[in-house]
């Protein structure tokens, strides 16, 4: 190989390496930008809802107050890197919550005992059928769904989850919609509880061009009383400044 060919080959190899380096760094750079955007938006959302959440922080697991003694009705779980939800949890050290939980537990125990009786009857029938036909049958056990309406209601009343989605379809400005909690029956005639939900949509009148943030859709699920406070007291308009 002559000198000219060697020089051309070196230049070609360098160009290929440069392209590979750029290709490898592009996803990392994009991810860093995404992470920075998520952090910026979630910090702004947390600040916007702060007027409705004058409550102490929970520990990292969301189990107890961070100081181990606060008795406020609610706790706010600290945001972690990458989080796109804010979790507000009933404080287990609050006396009112303890009374509600105790009442619900008595109702839950009744529902579980009834489910256990049904399971026992089904088991006895399955055993008798197996002896008669030689074929085994599946038997339903007791699950969390057997806690009944009381279990589902106390779960819903004990939290609010604030979920933030980016660049979803949204009209201009700030719009709100709500669906109240409801009870329905499934195909087996069992009553099911659906927690209340509200949605706050924030968008530009004109779509953003290129990459960026053009809209936010914030969904709140759980305790309807606290959700009502959040809808009323939060500074939603402050989030419009993020949209560009």
pLDDT value, residue 110: 60
pLDDT above 90: residue 244: no
Average pLDDT, integer, range 190-209 = 81
Q: How many residues does the chain have?
A: 244
> Predicted confidence band at 225 (pLDDT cuts at 50, 70, 90)?
very high
> Predicted confidence band at 33 (pLDDT cuts at 50, 70, 90)?
low
User: Who wins on pLDDT, 96 or 10?
Assistant: 96
pLDDT value, residue 112: 60
pLDDT above 50: residue 22: no
User: Who wins on pLDDT, 166 or 205?
Assistant: 166
pLDDT above 70: residue 69: yes
User: Who wins on pLDDT, 32 or 173?
Assistant: 173
Average pLDDT, integer, range 47-72 = 96
User: Who wins on pLDDT, 213 or 30?
Assistant: 213
Averaged confidence pLDDT in the chain: 80
pLDDT value, residue 128: 62
Average pLDDT, integer, range 69-98 = 96
pLDDT value, residue 129: 66
Average pLDDT, integer, range 173-186 = 92
pLDDT value, residue 10: 44
pLDDT value, residue 59: 96
pLDDT value, residue 142: 47
pLDDT above 70: residue 8: no
pLDDT above 90: residue 2: no
Q: Who contacts 212 (Cβ-Cβ below 8 Å, separation ≥6)?
A: 244
pLDDT value, residue 213: 86
By CB atoms closer than 10 A (0-12, 13-18, 19+), residue 92 is middle
pLDDT value, residue 230: 98
Residues 111-114: contacts with CB under 8 Å, at least 24 apart: 111/146, 111/147, 111/148, 111/149, 111/150, 111/151, 112/142, 112/146, 112/147
Average pLDDT, integer, range 64-80 = 96
Rg, Å, the chain Cα set: 27
User: Who wins on pLDDT, 84 or 185?
Assistant: 84
pLDDT above 70: residue 158: yes
């Amino acid at each position: 190989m002559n000198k000219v060919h060697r020089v051309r080959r070196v230049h070609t190899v360098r160009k290929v390496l440069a392209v590979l380096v750029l290709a490898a760094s592009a996803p990392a750079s994009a991810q860093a930008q995404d992470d920075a955007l998520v952090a910026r938006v979630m910090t702004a959302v947390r600040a916007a809802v702060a007027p409705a959440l004058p409550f102490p922080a929970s520990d990292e697991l969301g189990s107890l107050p961070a100081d181990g003694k606060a008795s406020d009705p609610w706790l706010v779980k600290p945001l972690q890197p990458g989080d796109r939800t804010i979790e507000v949890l009933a404080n287990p050290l609050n006396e009112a919550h303890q009374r509600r939980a105790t009442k619900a537990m008595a109702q839950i125990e009744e529902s579980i005992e009834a489910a256990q009786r049904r399971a026992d009857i089904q088991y006895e029938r399955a055993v008798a059928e197996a002896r008669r036909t030689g074929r085994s049958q599946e038997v339903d056990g007791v699950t969390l769904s057997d806690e009944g309406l009381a279990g589902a209601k106390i779960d819903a009343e004990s939290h609010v989850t604030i979920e933030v989605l980016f660049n979803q379809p949204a009209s201009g400005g700030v719009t709100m919609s709500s669906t109240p909690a409801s009870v329905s029956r499934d195909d087996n005639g069992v009553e099911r509880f659906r927690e209340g939900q509200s949605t706050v949509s924030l968008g530009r009148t004109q779509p953003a061009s290129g990459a960026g943030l053009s809209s936010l859709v914030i969904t709140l699920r759980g305790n309807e009383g606290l959700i009502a406070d959040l809808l009323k007291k939060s500074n939603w308009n402050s989030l419009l400044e993020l949209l560009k």
